[in-house]
Amino acid sequence: MENMQAVNSFVAAYLKKKGFKEAEQLLEDLQKESAPIDFHNDPDLAKFIHHFSQSEDDVARYQDGYSKLRSWTYSSLDLYKHELLRVLYPVFIHSFMDLVAKGHLQEARTFFNAFHEDHELMHSRDLQKLEGVLSQSHLEEMEFARSLRQNKVNIKICQYSYGLLLQYLHKTQSTAMLGVINEHINFQVTSGQPGSISDDTEVVTLIGSCQDAASLINQKEIHWGLLEDSLEERLEKEGGLLSDSEKAEAENKEGDVDDSKKRSVEGGKQGASTKKLKKDKAVNATAKSARPEAKPTPAAPRVKPELTLPVMSTEVEQSILEDLRNRVQLSSVALPSVSFYTFLNTHNGLNCSSISQDGSLVAGGFSDSSLKVWDMAKLGQQAGSSTLQGENDSTSSEHVAGPNGVKRSYTLFQGHSGPVYSATFSPLGDFILSSSADTTIRLWSTKLNANLVCYKGHNYPVWDVQFSPVGHYFASSSHDRTARIWSMDRIQPLRIMAGHLSDVDCVQWHANCNYIATGSSDRTVRLWDVQSGECVRIFIGHRSMILSLAMSPDGRYMASGDEDGTIMMWDLSSGQCVTPLMGHTSCVWSLAFSCEGTVLASGSADCTVKLWDVKTSTKAPKNEEKSGNPNRLRSLKTLATKSSPVYSLRFSRRNLLFAAGVLSKNV
Amino acid sequence: MSNVPKEAIEVIAQSIGITNLSPDVALALAPDVEYRVREIMQEAIKCMRHSRRTVLTTDDVDSALNLRNVEPICGFASRDALRFKKAAGHKDLFYIDDKDVEFKEVLESPLPKAPLDTSVTSHWLAIEGIQPAIPENASIEAPSDGKKAEYKEDGLSVDVKLPIKHVLSRELQVARNLNNFPLMFALMRVARSLLQNEHLHIEPYLHQLMPSIITCLVAKRLGNKFTENHWELRNFAAKLVASICKRFGHVYHNLQPRVTRTLLHAFLDPTKTFPQHYGAIQGLAALGPSVVRLLILPNLEAYLQLLEPEIKRHEAWCVYGALLRAAGLCMYDRLKMFPSLLAPPTRPVWKSNNKVATNKRKASTDTLMQQQPPAKKIATESAIGGSNIGVSSMSRPLSNDNMLGREVGGRVSKTSTVLAQAWKEDTDPGNLLASLFELFGESMLSFTPKPELSFFL
């Protein structure tokens, strides 16, 4: 206690001498609060402070200290990271201004250049102002700088984060940082859990920035329209069975102009390469958030593919067209039929499931490293098919017959050496990709029942893998905080998307294949340009880890589901949340839009499938956007399963909804 | 600041053999330990989420340790939950009770059953947004939901709907009103009315309706007063069940099999009371002669043996009458179908059976025979004019009390064989008649169609 008294009095005296009234006040406050975190009771600190008083002019300490603090913050626990990140910005600007104030102009400039990019996103305007501070006198003259120096920044922080920060500062002896923090930051320590990431805006406004978080990135232009020359479009032109709404779409002017060209392309079957030549066409599908009031387009605009797309065979095209003609129109009054696949006897080992486009194949990834695929068409006629199956698969008998010669009802794919976390079918159902904790992605052929390729690239478990809507390309996301784009024929990734601050938990392709969306444990969703690999949108609003993503078929909206059961609907062009959808009480494992985008289905760990009316939610708030009171998305129907959490959902091209889940006893 | 007290660090240090740990070290280690634990938990929770689970397992923690390149902890993969016990004398000290296991015991214990292999089944969770009431789907907890849906679907007027809602909910409470006989009868009539109304879409509620009706058919006690004629209620319910099966059987293929299974169980269970047996027999009989042939006749003889000692009781008589009627109608049906195959009537010693036959007739008159006055009349006439012309194909004279199955062994076996074969389409109705006659006596004759009977006269 004596020691502590001595330190306190020394510090108080020091502060008084230096004229740090606020800090002195803060110290007193801290003592009064008798916070459980008592960093004064530390003999080493006395030494630090002595040390600090001796070498306060040491310029390198700022640069060094800040860079260490920064890297420590970025590697801290997810739960507290966003709180600690808030501290960085004030520390940065005040370190910079301290350096300027002490006359180390050159060093200040180096310091600024080294780290200003971190804050560019949130505080670009402030940084532009500060960049102009070139001498001590500027600090006095510039009103902004003066107000920053005079006022303390209020930061709300939870007790544990606060403790972590102080502990770090002690350990690393970064007294320069401790000084800055004491001098300019007023911590409002709250007990209990850390606040939500969305509270960040509050901080931003407190420190005088009028810009919204992430708004700079969200101003980039994106082309959310659908691919031109899609099969749907062709079907409409052929004058098939048209609904009224689709007729409007068929009147798309650009489409008419291109019509003759497309026909010729179609005949030549050189679509993929010749499409590239049409780049000179003006793209009318740009949507800038700068003018979100752009005239409402009746139908989704068309965009060019940025990737070389695989060519589709005629038979496949025909079958898809057939499906499109037979599609059931869903709406709030015409709900889909749901076929539910229940996994039995999984012994808690099922990690993921996936359903092929036509629902005939169901895959399950297990924690025992295996991938099992059931052919539902054969399952229906079990007795007759068992012998048939044996004959068909004689080439790969080890897949079908167990060690005892017992016939299995499924095809077993073995190859991974860790739990399989995700599986995805190619659009035609002839390939499966699986990702695993062994850091690899494997490509399997359902025709040959064999492993074709093993893609190595990630350094940590691969949480999710998704085929692109056209096949051939796929995206993966991993614990190594990156998402990667691959093509089936290369074992190296084509693009690496880095930027998330924590695990990338899920990934989803945009309908036009030019973008991918990723959801992360850092509670944000990001949209990436596949061609450039750049982040083009950041969606902030979730309060916990993102588990599932879905893109609307018109390419305009995105839904994301999180750990708490919240689903958020985002407008891709503006980057704003259209409406949060409350209803689920537990993790939303899966989301799926119906083929015409009118119904959103969500599957959750609370053993329900919910159907949401998307049309009312996305259209209605448009009108009353200004009022800032978006109405809740309407839940159309809750379908309860019999104690089976819903793992995956998939709408077939004919709008039949497939759902898969595992029967579990302890739910 | 730390949730991990320094005492915990001291305990851990002791457990790994470090005795001279200074308090400062423990104090410094505690927050770091907490941080590491939080870090591992953060990763473990991620692993749990990616395994699509909401419960954290030791596997998740192992995976998390793996991610951090830390050796996994062994010994916690047991299926049983770990129990922390309080150490005696310490307030906050807990330990895991880890029992020693004998190798011998483990080796000698029988191998556990091989776990079942994973499989996938499919069912309709919803058809056009409506969940079908099948066992694979979660039961709809509030029937009022269903009512509302129906209300929207068909555009009938409100004043028709409201009483239905009311009555159906009472309907579901039949089990609670088993003592209120008039109410039950009224409810059954309501059910019949509902079923007869073609404008009502009653199908979705059949599964709610059926248990109540079956209850009225085979309940142990219906009503609490002696005067209340529960037999009549059972007859009524039987007809109701039959009409439901007839109307919806082709849509729901498992409807009739389920009903018959329930009734057959009631019929074949000797521990059940006679009224229950009566209901079951009536229910089965109402489903048609083929059901009787298939399910009742093969069990008839054995059942009559069971019934015989109790035959003096009114209840047993009623059951006997029900059986008689069921068998008789069945035979009548056969005879109608194959008139040419008619075998000579079975007329064993008439007078010796007189008493029993009269009794029988009386019983059947009381309970069931109202529907058959002409046949009955003829039968009586034939009995009165009882000449012995129709010599039975097995014309061994019967001794007085042999009527109910105390026949000699060979005879019995033959009868039962005939009855057991009764389900076959090409059974000779003559043989059937003979066997039945043997069991029931001449009252069987009342079921013989008039022309055929006249043949014997």
pLDDT at A105: 79
Pairing of strands A185-190, A153-158: parallel
Q: How far apart are CA A575 and CA B109, in angstroms?
A: 63
Interval A146-167: pLDDT, tens: 778 887 888 888 888 888 888 8
Percentage, residues of chain A above pLDDT 90: 29
Q: Which long-range contacts (CB under 8 A, 24 or more apart) does A27-32 make?
A: A27/A182
- Could you read off the pLDDT of A162-183 as tens digits, one per residue? 888 888 888 888 778 888 888 8
Candidates A419, A505, A637; nearest CB to B51: A419
According to the per-residue pLDDT averaged within each range, which of A396-400, A461-465, A631-635, B115-119 is highest? Answer: A461-465
Count of positions (residues) in chain B: 457
Domain B167-338: CATH class, spelled out? mainly alpha
A500 touches chain B (CB under 8 A): no
Integer Cα distance of B289 and B291 in angstroms: 5
What is the residue type of B279?
Answer: G
Architecture of domain A336-380+409-616+631-662: 7 Propeller (2.130)
β-strand A338-344 against A350-355: which pairing, if any? unpaired
- Report the residue of chain A nearest B54, measured CA to CA: A605
Cross-chain residue pair A639–B51, CB shorter than 8 Å: no
Contact between B52 and A350 using a beta-carbon 8 Å cutoff? yes
Range among A310-314, A432-436, B197-201 rated most confident: A432-436
Domain spans, chain A: 59-190, 336-380+409-616+631-662
Beta carbons within 10 angstroms of residue A295's beta carbon = 5
pLDDT digits (tens, 9 = 90+) for A236-256: 666 544 444 444 444 443 334
ipTM of the complex: 0.70
Q: Is any Cβ of chain A less than 8 angstroms from the Cβ of B126? A: yes
pLDDT band, very low/low/confident/very high, at A381 (cuts 50, 70, 90): low
Q: What CA–CA distance (Å, rounded) separates A528 from A292?
A: 20
DSSP class of B110: P
Which residues face A412 on adjacent strands?
A372
What does the alpha-carbon distance between residue A93 and residue A145 come to, in Å, rounded to a whole number? 9
Average pLDDT over residues A74-92: 84
Which residues does B99 contact at the CB level (< 8 Å), separation at least 6?
Answer: none
B55 neighbourhood in chain A, CB within 8 Å: 666
Q: Where are the domains of chain B?
A: 6-79, 167-338
pLDDT greater than 70 at residue A385? no
Say what the pLDDT of residue A259 is.
41
Contacts of A507 in chain B (CB under 8 A): none
User: Is the per-residue pLDDT at A210 higher than 70?
Assistant: no
What is the rounded CA–CA span in Å between residue A616 and residue A261?
37
Residue B416: predicted pLDDT:
60
pLDDT for B131 equals 86
CATH code for residues A59-190? 1.25.40.500
CATH classification code of B6-79: 1.10.20.10
Looking at residue B423, its pLDDT comes to 60
Stretch A422-430: mean pLDDT, rounded? Answer: 93
pLDDT for the residue A33:
56
Residue of A nearest to B45 (CA): A545
Mark yes or no for CB contact B118/A79 under 8 Å: no
pLDDT of residue A560 exceeding 50: yes
Cβ pair B136:A342 closer than 8 A: yes
Residue with tokens 């059901």: B291
**Which of residues 242 through 281 in chain A touch B, CB cutoff 8 A?**
none
Q: A449 Cβ partners below 8 Å, 6+ apart? A: A393, A395, A396, A399, A400, A411, A413
Q: Is pLDDT larger for residue B172 or for residue A495?
A: A495
DSSP string for A592-641 = EE-TTSSEEEEEETTSEEEEEEHHHHHHHHHHTTTTT-PPPPEEEEEEE-
Task: Report the SS3 class of residue A6.
Answer: helix
A358 touches chain B (CB under 8 A): no
Task: State whether the Cα torsion A107-A108-A111-A117 is positive or negative.
Answer: negative
State the DSSP code for A530.
Answer: T
pLDDT at B452: 55
How far away is chain B from the Cα of A190, in angstroms, using its nearest Cα?
A: 13
A382 contacts in chain B (CB < 8 Å): none
* The pLDDT of residue A650: 94
Across A288-300, average pLDDT = 42
B138/A641 Cβ within 8 A: yes
Residue A284 has pLDDT above 60, yes or no: no
pTM of this prediction exceeds 0.80: no
Mean pLDDT for chain A overall: 76
Per-residue pLDDT band for A462 (boundaries 50, 70, 90) equals very high
Which residue do the tokens 């009938």 mark? B156
* Parallel/antiparallel/unpaired status of strands A634-640 and A657-662: unpaired
Higher-pLDDT residue of A26 and A244 is: A26
Q: Of A218-227, A358-367, A591-600, which gets the smallest average pLDDT? A: A218-227
Sign of the CA dihedral with B126 first, then B132, B134, and B135 last: positive
Mutate to test the interface with B, among A40, A41, A77 (most CBs of B within 10 A): A77
pLDDT of residue A282 exceeding 50 = no
Q: Which residues of B160-174 are buried (b: 16+ CB within 10 A; e: fewer)?
A: eeeebeeebeebeeb
The tens-digit pLDDT sequence of chain B (457 residues) is: 467 888 888 888 988 888 888 888 888 888 888 888 888 988 999 999 999 998 888 889 999 999 888 888 887 776 667 778 888 887 777 787 777 888 898 888 888 888 888 889 889 998 888 888 888 887 665 443 433 333 333 333 333 333 344 444 444 555 556 677 777 788 888 888 888 877 777 777 777 778 888 888 888 777 776 677 788 888 888 888 888 888 887 777 788 888 888 888 888 888 888 888 888 888 888 888 888 878 888 888 888 888 778 777 788 888 888 888 888 887 777 777 665 555 444 444 444 444 444 444 444 444 444 444 444 444 444 444 333 433 333 334 433 444 444 434 444 455 666 666 656 655 566 666 677 777 776 666 666 655 555 555 4
Between A184 and A475, whose confidence is greater? A475
Encode pLDDT of A329-340 as tens digits.
888 888 899 999
Q: Kindly state the average pLDDT of the residues A645-657.
A: 93
